[in-house]
């Protein structure tokens, strides 16, 4: 049975800020600016699943332009040099870093999956029996970026086994 833990938006924001400071915006000139717009569009997304003491998913979604910018920053190259493989790899790593940091805030006994990357809007992936419990929505250099947490519903599993 998973415990009822919520990583707050403020905590998500703190983790994301670390990622920006370390890799995406070391100069501190182009932070992620919150929009609080849960319905903002995305073109690509990545996710990691957490199982054990807490079960759910951590999802990173953005426009293709923002993903390309992230890959260029990660790899220290120009945006037009970024290949699709670079894009996928960086998206996977972003989900992995945020997911790993989320896991560190959960009770002992949580396991993290390898990242899954989908070069399609976030809406293309369904997370069965999971509901969004928190999310950070913003723009980076005018492009949409979001990080959200989805909690799997254990009640559904319990009903099935009852």
Partner 1 sequence: MKILIADDSRVMRQIVTRTLRQAGFGDHDLVEAADGQEALDKTTAEKPDLVISDWNMPQMTGVDVLRKLRAAGNDVKFGFVTSECTPEMQQQAESAGAAFFIVKPFTADRFDEVLSPILG
Judged by CB under 8 A, the residue of 5, 11, 13, 23 near partner 1 is: 23
Instruction: Tell the smallest beta-carbon distance from residue 107 to partner 1 (Å).
Output: 9
Size of site (CB under 8 A) for partner 1? 28
Regarding 1 and contact with partner 1 (CB under 8 A), the answer is no
Closer of 65 and 105 to partner 1 (Cβ) = 105
The 10 Å CB-count burial string (b at 16+, else e) for 119-137 is eeebeeeeeeebeebbbbb
Q: What is the DSSP letter of 107?
A: P
Regarding 101 and contact with partner 1 (CB under 8 A), the answer is yes
13-21 long-range Cβ contacts below 8 angstroms, 24+ apart: 13/136, 15/98, 15/101, 15/102, 16/98, 16/136, 16/147, 18/101, 19/94, 19/97, 19/98
Instruction: Tell the smallest beta-carbon distance from residue 162 to partner 1 (Å).
Output: 32
Regarding 89 and contact with partner 1 (CB under 8 A), the answer is yes
Rounded to whole angstroms, how far apart are CA atoms 54 and 103?
9
Contact segment (CB under 8 A) with partner 1 among 29-37, 60-68, 95-103, 121-129 equals 95-103
Judged by CB under 8 A, the residue of 31, 100, 121, 135 near partner 1 is: 100
Judged by CB under 8 A, the residue of 21, 33, 79, 156 near partner 1 is: 21
């Amino acid at each position: 049975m998973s415990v009822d833990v919520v990583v707050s938006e403020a905590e998500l924001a703190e983790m994301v800020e670390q990622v920006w400071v370390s890799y995406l915006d070391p100069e501190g000139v182009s932070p992620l600016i919150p929009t609080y717009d849960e319905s903002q569009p995305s073109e690509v997304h990545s996710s990691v699943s957490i199982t054990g003491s807490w079960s759910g998913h951590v999802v990173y979604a953005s426009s293709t332009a923002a993903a390309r910018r992230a890959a260029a920053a990660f790899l220290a190259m120009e945006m037009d040099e970024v290949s699709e493989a670079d894009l996928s790899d960086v998206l996977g790593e972003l989900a992995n870093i945020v997911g790993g940091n989320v896991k560190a805030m959960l009770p002992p006994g949580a396991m993290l999956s390898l990242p899954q990357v989908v070069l399609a809007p976030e809406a293309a992936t369904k997370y069965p029996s999971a509901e969004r419990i928190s999310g950070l929505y913003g723009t980076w250099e005018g492009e949409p970026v979001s990080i959200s947490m989805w909690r799997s519903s254990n009640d559904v599993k319990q009903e099935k086994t009852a």
